[in-house]
Chain A
Amino acid sequence: MSSDPADSQPSQEGIPTLPGTGQPGTLQPSSIDAIAPGPRVEAGFDPPTAVVWFGVIGGGIAWALAFVAGYGFGLAHCFPTGTSLALPLSAWQIAAAAAALVVALASIATSVWIFLRTFRIGDVAGMERRGDGAPPPAGRLQFLAMVGLTVNLLAIAIIVMIGVGAPILHVCQQS
């Protein structure tokens, strides 16, 4: 690569020596590896990551477990061989749903708390800026909280549906 007179800016440097190729170079690795770190607003409010994520997925996981348990109990009990469960099937199903509901409520409470802590009433545009793209951690927290609110809402709906629906039906009536 020829160094041409046209390039006479102060920031102009030659090409550094590359690993392997024996070309002359003067560029300083430190300057070429320098970067401004990602912008970050210092956190006034920054709860532990685990808490935040419990607020996001707690209800979902609870539903998943209740659902697997209910399906498992149902199959175990209603298979031709009929494994006995000590308690009636519906009791197990209600218990699983109830337990899940408690967890889901705890989870939604968490996300509501975080949402309120990170949410400021402002003009529409302000909300928009907060809603997407506000600097972390506040912006990220509010984002996750909003997600958690919705996830848990749906999780609660579905837990109630199975908790009520399954016991109403005849035990082991083949569909």
Chain B
Amino acid sequence: MSTVPGGPVDRDTPAGAIHLARQRRAKPNGWWGMVLFLCSEVTIFGTMIATYFYLQFGVHHWPPRGISPEKVAYPSIATGVLLLTTFTMWLAARAAGAGARRTVLLMISLSLLIQGAFFGVQVALMSSDLSRFSPRSTAYGSIYYTLTGTHDAHVLVGCLLGLAVLWFVARRGLTDYWSTATRALALYWYVVNTMAVFVLLTTLSPSL
């Protein structure tokens, strides 16, 4: 007859959270929930990327006549910078497990800066694209803007999630719930960053 860790331990205190994180053998529910949610998101991106190529197979000119292929430089640099947040979020997740509140706050805010900047750049790039070709003229435009737009939307949502976690961790401290939330947020960004690469390669494929 052994005592279950986490019972007497108060999971709403940082101490309890650290204890839990140490003795857990399975991943917490929140982590699993995020993983499965991300499965669904990855499927969405997969479907859209498949759509891109399916449409490409069907036409002779891709991109259609009159639309110059995408410029490689700016989007690639932007994505490269975004990938840095993979590392900062990893640090945040690790700090969350160890209960290092300051590090978590620092790393999340750092990531938020980069991600916000990336989002801004993306918006700028998209508006410049819109001056070149419209999503209404051809299917190429439709899938191009839908694909990039979907990814930008994920970045935006990620930033909002980051702000929320930042706020709650600042106010509540690293309870078990919010340290799990930090790890889940990190997972989210790993996937969004990976998708950034795939989206980039897809949209640049005509230029490569």
- A-side interface residues toward B, CB under 8 Å? 29-30, 33-37, 72, 75-76, 79-81, 83
Give Cα A99 to B82, complex, Å.
Answer: 36
Chain A residues with CB under 8 Å of B3's CB are 30, 33-34
In the complex, the answer to whether B1 meets A36 with C-beta atoms within 8 Å is yes
Residue of B2, B53, B57, B60 most packed against chain A (CB within 10 A): B57
Query: Known contacts A29-B8, A33-B7, A33-B8: does B1 contact A79 (CB below 8 Å)?
Result: no
> Distance in Å from the Cβ of B6 to the closest Cβ of chain A?
9
Instruction: Tell me the B65-108 residues at the A interface (CB within 8 Å).
Output: none
Is B59 within 8 A of A33, CB to CB? no
- Interface residues of chain B, those whose CB is within 8 Å of chain A, are 1-4, 7-8, 53-54, 57-60
Known: A36-B1, A37-B2. A30 touches B8 (CB 8 A): yes
Which residues on the A side are within 8 Å of B57 (C-beta)? 75-76, 79, 81, 83
Give the distance in Å from the alpha carbon of A76 to the alpha carbon of B7 in the complex: 58
Instruction: For B58, list chain A residues within 8 Å (CB).
Output: 79-81
Across the two chains, which residue of chain A brings its CB closest to B59?
A81
12 residue pairs bridging A and B, Cβ less than 8 Å apart: A29-B8, A33-B8, A34-B2, A36-B1, A72-B53, A75-B57, A76-B53, A80-B58, A81-B57, A81-B58, A81-B60, A83-B57
Query: Which chain B positions have C-beta within 8 A of A79?
Result: 57-58
Residue on A nearest B60 in the bound complex, by CB: A81
Q: Chain B residue with minimal CB distance to A72?
A: B53
* A34 B60 Cβ-Cβ under 8 A: no
CA distance A81 to B8 in the complex (A): 68
- Give the shortest distance, in Å, between A17 (CB) and chain B (any CB): 15
Q: Decide if B8 touches A35 in the complex (CB within 8 Å).
A: no
Chain B residue numbers with a CB within 8 Å of A76 are: 53, 57
Q: For B2, what are the chain A residues with a Cβ–Cβ distance below 8 Å?
A: 34-37
Q: Nearest 6 A-B pairs (CB), nearest first? A: A33-B7, A79-B57, A76-B57, A81-B60, A29-B8, A34-B3
* Shortest CB distance A18–B (Å): 15
Q: Is the CB of A75 within 8 A of B7?
A: no
Which residues of chain B are within 8 angstroms of A30 by Cβ–Cβ distance? 3, 7-8
CB nearest to A83 among chain B residues: B57
Query: How distant is B7 from chain A, measured CB to nearest CB, in Å?
Result: 3
CB contacts (< 8 Å) of B59 on chain A: these are 81
